[in-house]
Structure 1
Amino acid sequence: MQRPNAFPPQGQIPANAHQTQNPFASLDGQSYDKPHAALKDRPLDMFYVCFFLMHIPATLLLDLQAVYPPSLLPKWMHALGHMYMEFTADPVVGSVNGYFGEHVKQNFAWLRMFMFSELLIQLPIFFYASYSFYSISSSTTPSTSPIPTLYPLLIAYGALTATTTLPCIGVLLSTPSTSVPLDFSSSVAGPAVTEWQRWLLLGSYIPFFLIPLGIAVDMIFRTRFLTRKGVWVVQKGMLSKWE
């Protein structure tokens, strides 16, 4: 039995197809052929932009110290990392930066690879996504909109970030407890955190797992919605109006 053609030939498209009501217009609050709302009117996208912009200094100043050449690391940046370790005793950052000795640092070579991915993949996405979310409001056609690139890219970003952050949370949960905070002014035998430090670190790591994961899920649903909308446009012979 022959399956019906989902995309009828041009000659079979009704003459009034361009006047057919778009069933997707009511789902996103605007018609597919109208400009997107301004960023200030898209609170979720605004939240994503704030998250990316906030992530940039934390990435550059703390996370990536392990991959910078030591000769290029300014003293003030090293002091910032030392201050962070004195306050949190972060077993993730401390291990990969050698605060607990070379033997521990070697065991965290996998985390160093994660940080290279943060430098080469995540950091550029922070800048690109922030600008793209801002520029969507001035894009009225598929040829000028960043959405076809932005949404799939953020799916990959969210999946990568959640995957690389989850093992770090596992490290925090498995780090031994100590009643006295570690003193990094002298050599430290190995990672250990107080219960207060553990909860502090979990409170900072878990959002950086959940938010990227949420971004990926959100972009999957947005991409699915736009794909269905695109199929509807093609079926109704309205592609020329959308271009």
Structure 2
Amino acid sequence: MEGERRPVPISRRPMDLFLVAFFLMNIPVVVLFESQVILPPGVVPKQLSDATQWYVNASGDYLVGEKPAFLKGLVVAEVLFQLPLMIANAYSFTAGKDWGRITGVIYAAHVATTMFPLFADILAAKVATQNLLLGIYMPYLIVPLIMLARLAPSPHPFTEAVASLKTKKGQ
């Protein structure tokens, strides 16, 4: 039988703090910008669509500019699946909830695998901004792989065992 566990403060878990920051930075990006790929143009405020168009012009991100069907499918998955997981993970990682291991692994595996069709398209396109685009999208492969490496080895990545009273008295 497993003993009692308590959350390890996030201040003692710098990698988890980094991952929480990653989630919290990406939540508004998904809601305000990436969702534009699947939303009708009339519902997006002009300032947001202008900001997205600026990004497309500055980066040469033809995928966001052209909105191919496969990207729309990935963005639907991002909005309906990854976004709720980002919110759940930001909470569970911060609060030290071990169930966040499961949601974190699901999120990380999903995000990492969605990068492969994007990379394949960018590499096949031979656009002038190819290296810039690979650099923009690469963190969405690297960070999830880091997350998997962080979460996979331990069934309790955010908690530590609490010493029982018997153990404390016997010291």
Q: What is the TM-score with the length of structure 2 in the denominator?
A: 0.83
Aligned partners of 1:92 and 1:218: how far apart in 2?
31
The CA deviation at 1:222 is 1.8
Give the corresponding residue for 1:133: 93
Superposition pairs of residues 50-61 of structure 1, within 5 angstroms:
50-61=21-32
Tell me if 1:114 matches 2:74: yes
Aligned partners of 2:43 and 2:151: how far apart in 1?
38
Superposition pairs of residues 56-67 of structure 1, within 5 angstroms:
56-67=27-38
Q: Unpaired segments of 5 or more residues in structure 2? A: 158-171
Give the corresponding residue for 1:213: 145
Tell me if 1:82 matches 2:53: yes
- Give 4+ residue runs of structure 1 displaced > 2 Å after superposition: 32-37
Structure with more helix by fraction: 2
Identity score, percent? 30
The CA deviation at 1:95 is 2.2
Contact kept? 1:91, 1:175, Cα under 8 Å? no
Match of 1:123 among 83, 100, 104: 83
RMSD, aligned α-carbons: 2.3
Larger-gyration structure (1/2): 1
Match of 1:166 among 112, 116, 138: 116
The CA deviation at 1:34 is 4.8
Equivalent pairs, count: 159
Aligned partners of 1:222 and 1:68: how far apart in 2?
39
Instruction: Determine helix, strand or coil for the equivalent of 1:35.
Output: strand
Q: What is the TM-score with the length of structure 1 in the denominator?
A: 0.60
The CA deviation at 1:122 is 0.8
Aligned partners of 1:205 and 1:220: how far apart in 2?
23
Comparing both chains, which one has the higher relative contact order based on Cα–Cα distances under 8 Å and sequence gaps of 6 or more?
2
Tell me if 1:222 matches 2:159: no
Which deviates more from structure 2 when the two are superposed, residues 67-76 or residues 214-223? 214-223
Give the corresponding residue for 1:180: none
The CA deviation at 1:57 is 2.1
Aligned partners of 2:8 and 2:103: how far apart in 1?
21
